[in-house]
Amino acid sequence: MLYTKETESREVKELGGLWKFRADNSDGSKLGFEESWHIRPLSETGEVIDMPVPSSFNDITQDRKLRDFVGCVWYEKNFIPPKHWKMVKQRIFIKFESAHYHSTAWLNGQHIVSHEGGHLPFQAEVTRLIQFGSVNRITVAINNTLTPETLPPGTIKYPRNPNKYPKGYFAQNYFMDFFNYAGIHRPVKLHTTPNLYIDDITVVTNVTKATGVVDYVIHVKGSGCSSMVSYKIRLLDADGHEVAIGQTASGQLLVPNANLWWPYTMSDHPAYLYTLKVRVEDKTSFDVYDLPVGIRTVKLNKTKFLINDKPFYFLGIGKHEDADIRGRGFDYPIMVKDINLMKWLGINSFRTNHYPYAEEILDLCDEHGIVVIDESTAVGMKKAENFGDISFYNHISVMEELVSRDKNHPSVVMWSVANEPNSTLAVAGPYMKNIIKYTKLLDSTRPVTLVTGGDLKARFDQAAKYGDVICMNTYYSWYGDDGHLDVIYKQAEANLREWFDMYQRPVIQAEYGAGCIAGFHTDPPVMFSEEYQEEFLKEYFRVFDELRREFLVGEMVWVFADFMTHQSTKLAGGNTKGILTRQRQPKSVAKIIKQRYHQIGNSTTAESADQTYCQSKCKNAN
């Protein structure tokens, strides 16, 4: 599914703004379906409120019940299609960039699409249902209930003691440490394509000596037959000059002395993007689409992660898209602010913890040279029932949608199929082996990993061995040996070495961090103080500075900014491990990260890596 944008042959009408909204508070949230709320205006079914789209409905009102609502909510939007669309023979689609979790949509009372899962797009063709010259009504029902088979999974608890719980009481339990924000999170678009249209483009790049290689495949659908379709493919450089052409549905373009796509820390001229201009036509219609192309390679050896055959070191961050008041609602100001903050801090990479982010974010990463580990929604898989056949089917569907959407982004250098599954379970091994194998069938050009809870010990893990890179999360002196900073170096160093010795492949510290309440200061440092967070990271830095000379290829501090979680006596105000507050103000540890990341830059030679290591050792000795 190509990103939806306007071209010479396509038009887009945004359907964002204020929608009508109501939650179905009936027993089991069944009333809306039983009474068919979609067949008439939503206001006729009961009281409605205004709800911004995109956003999460949880944080918009002062209603405590709506904030924690579990069940089905209903959205409605009226719109008038452009009159001239009727005059042109074309297809009309409604596309949802993301809605969480189970979604069903109707247009003018007619079902158009159902989709399971959040964070990835889905759409429906509505050419025959659109009514020109009158108001059209789109209705969407979204159920955020999590079950053992959803990704992420959850359970519903039904306490039966009438002396302790009110009638109809139930609670949603889930096994991830972030809040289950729900709603229409990203833009909704009404868009057109010609009858003959470009359905998909796949681009794979390589470099042979100084020549860039761009292999492409164009898939078309619609009127005409394949033998009657003509193709015009042009590759333009950043100045708009044509550097290669093609005339077939698939082919190879060669670019002598190619400008490569580099992470911004590896080149004085990073993130160079070409433009692939595609035009297809038959006797009745034509379609055009422009796709940014970054020419680069990604490879691995036993101890290195290589971009364009040079060692890349992940100076990274864990990130949550819901780390602001809009929940996971897409927001351009926050997106641009975060990119600017990352470059200010010297961050060259992040992982999309723990779900795919908006494609607009990846576009910015392509342009700015920020490297991305693209992660699926498989977080919180803790029980054997989470590894069954239904979960597996949902999981491969997520990977299909993720790879299909993000495969052409040069910033995406690795797929992550899961975060911290209970990989000591016997069922986890074959399950993850097949998920990773399937992902490699979808895309053979990128490494595939899963992120493990690294303190589980390598010898007990059944799944991480199937990944190309060992990615692990550990929190020594935080979740265990609480407050004892002196254990970090020994435990972290021994753990990282154990994983490398067992599996002989590059290792990334994918998460590590300590909670910190902004403005809370103590000396000596105690947990949740800014001083403790600083000392915590410094102890990990000692380990990283030693092991990145050997097999460590990345460090990704947890987390970019504070974010909301479920309510708990252990998490006052949510997760406070951010190096920034939820309002994007730096804690004192941000200066330490900034100094370290800018100092290291991205050492691409053994000599510079050794020099930085020696400087660090001398500083620690003093």
The reported pLDDT for the residue numbered 321 is 65
Report the distance separating Cα 533 and Cα 468, nearest Å: 31
Instruction: Report which of residues 59 and 6 the model is more confident about.
Output: 6
Q: Which residues pair with 20 in a beta bridge?
A: 50, 76
Q: Is the pLDDT of residue 470 over 60?
A: yes
Report the distance separating Cα 271 and Cα 267, nearest Å: 9
Per the CB < 8 A criterion, the answer to whether 51 and 20 are in contact is yes
This prediction has a pTM of 0.94
Per the CB < 8 A criterion, the answer to whether 371 and 310 are in contact is no
Report the distance separating Cα 424 and Cα 422, nearest Å: 6
Report the distance separating Cα 69 and Cα 144, nearest Å: 9
Q: Is 165 exposed, middle or buried (0-12, 13-18, 19+ CB in 10 A)?
A: middle
Q: In whole numbers, what is the pLDDT of the chain averaged over residues?
A: 92
Q: Is the pLDDT of residue 66 over 80?
A: yes
Report the distance separating Cα 614 and Cα 611, nearest Å: 5
- Exposure pattern of 233-256 as b/e (b: 16+ CB <10 Å)? bbbbbeeeeebbebeebebebebe
pLDDT tens for 176-194 read: 888 889 999 999 999 999 9
pLDDT tens for 483-505 read: 999 999 999 999 999 999 999 99
Q: Which residues pair with 220 in a beta bridge?
A: 198
Q: Is the pLDDT of residue 583 over 50?
A: yes
- Choose the most confident range, by mean pLDDT, from 37-41, 354-358, 583-587: 37-41
Q: Is the pLDDT of residue 591 over 70?
A: yes
Q: How confident is the model at residue 322 (pLDDT cuts 50, 70, 90)?
A: low
Task: List the catalytic residues.
Answer: 420
Report the distance separating Cα 131 and Cα 120, nearest Å: 28
Q: How confident is the model at residue 469 (pLDDT cuts 50, 70, 90)?
A: very high
Of 216-230, 355-369, 413-427, least confident by mean pLDDT is: 216-230
Average pLDDT (390-416) is 98
Instruction: Report which of residues 458 and 558 the model is more confident about.
Output: 558
Domain covering 12-144+180-193: architecture: Sandwich (2.60)
Q: Cβ neighbours of residue 398 under 8 Å, at least 6 residues apart?
A: 117, 120, 151, 376, 377, 378
Task: Name the 3-class secondary structure at 107.
Answer: strand
Alpha-carbon distances of 533 from 274, 495, 539, rounded to whole Å:
42, 21, 10
Of 500-509, 555-564, 565-574, least confident by mean pLDDT is: 565-574
Domain boundaries, the chain: 12-144+180-193, 195-296, 299-621
The reported pLDDT for the residue numbered 621 is 45
Average pLDDT (207-235) is 90
Q: Is the pLDDT of residue 259 over 90?
A: yes
Topology match between the domains 195-296 and 299-621: no
Q: How confident is the model at residue 151 (pLDDT cuts 50, 70, 90)?
A: very high
Q: Is the pLDDT of residue 579 over 80?
A: yes
Report the distance separating Cα 414 and Cα 239, nearest Å: 29
- pLDDT exceeding 90 applies to what percent of the chain? 83
What secondary structure does DSSP assign to 346-379, as a single string?
T--EEE-TTSPPPHHHHHHHHHHT-EEEEE-S-B
The reported pLDDT for the residue numbered 303 is 97
Domain covering 195-296: architecture: Sandwich (2.60)
pLDDT tens for 78-133 read: 999 999 999 888 999 999 999 999 999 999 999 999 999 999 999 999 999 999 99
Average pLDDT (415-434) is 96
Q: How confident is the model at residue 326 (pLDDT cuts 50, 70, 90)?
A: low
The reported pLDDT for the residue numbered 436 is 98
The reported pLDDT for the residue numbered 225 is 54
Please give the distance of CA 85 from its chain centroid, rounded to a whole number. Answer: 34
Domain covering 299-621: architecture: Alpha-Beta Barrel (3.20)
The reported pLDDT for the residue numbered 604 is 46
Q: What is the DSSP letter of 29?
A: G
The reported pLDDT for the residue numbered 329 is 75
